[in-house]
C-alpha cells in the first residue's frame, strides 16, 4: 500500500511530463529565498540530481520542515488525465485531496491517511506556458508544516517569467 501511494503521488506531481531536451533549467525557476519565504524554513542543497534519466528537468532541495522539488518539462497533450487518475487512486487510499485552478496554474494538496503520514504532506502548484509546464512541490514532514495552496500559488506566477 505504501508503494501504491508513492506511485500515485508521483503521477500526481508530474511524471506524465517529458523533458524538453535542453539543459536543466529547473533550479532557475525559483530562488532559495523565495522558497524559504513560502516554506518558513531555510532551504539547502537546491540542485539537480545526478541521474541518467532525461525524462524531466528537476531540482531538489531540503529543509527542516520537508523537501522541495522544482520541475520543468514539456507538457503532454493528454489534458492531465494521468494526474486525475493518480488523484483518484490516492483518494481511494483514504487521502484528502484538494485541487484548485487559477487560470494556467493548478495547485493541489494531498493529506495522507493516518497510516501513511510518515510519507509526508504534499502541496504542488504547476503552471502551463505552452509548450512547457513548470511545477513546485513541497513535501512537508508534518501536517502543521504543510504549505497552504494560497501561500504557494504566487510562486508559480513568478516562475512563469523564467521559462
What average pLDDT does this structure show over 134-163? 95
What confidence score (pLDDT) does residue 7 get?
37
Q: How many domains does the chain have?
A: 1
Cell output for 111: 493529506
pLDDT in tens, 100-112: 999 999 999 999 9
3-class DSSP state for residue 24? coil
What average pLDDT does this structure show over 41-58? 76
CATH of the domain at 149: 3.40.1000
Cell output for 45: 542543497
Mean pLDDT for all residues in the chain? 82
Structural domain range at position 140: 2-162
What confidence score (pLDDT) does residue 23 get?
55
Q: How far apart are CA 30 and CA 99, in angstroms?
A: 22
Amino acid at each position: 500500500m505504501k508503494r501504491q501511494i508513492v506511485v500515485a503521488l508521483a503521477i500526481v506531481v508530474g511524471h506524465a511530463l517529458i523533458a524538453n531536451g535542453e539543459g536543466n533549467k529547473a533550479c532557475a525557476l525559483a530562488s532559495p529565498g523565495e522558497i524559504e519565504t513560502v516554506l518558513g524554513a531555510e532551504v539547502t542543497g537546491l540542485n539537480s540530481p545526478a541521474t541518467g534519466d532525461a525524462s524531466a528537468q528537476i531540482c531538489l532541495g531540503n529543509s527542516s520542515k520537508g523537501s522541495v522539488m522544482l520541475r520543468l518539462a514539456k507538457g503532454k497533450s493528454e489534458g492531465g488525465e494521468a494526474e486525475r487518475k493518480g488523484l483518484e487512486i490516492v483518494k481511494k487510499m483514504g487521502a484528502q485531496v484538494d485541487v484548485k485552478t487559477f487560470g494556467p496554474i493548478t495547485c493541489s494538496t494531498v493529506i495522507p491517511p493516518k497510516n501513511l503520514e510518515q510519507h509526508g504532506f504534499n502541496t504542488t502548484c504547476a503552471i502551463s506556458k505552452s509548450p512547457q509546464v513548470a511545477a513546485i512541490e513541497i513535501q512537508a514532514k508534518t501536517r502543521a508544516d504543510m504549505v497552504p495552496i494560497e501561500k504557494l500559488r504566487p510562486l508559480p506566477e513568478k516562475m512563469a517569467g523564467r521559462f
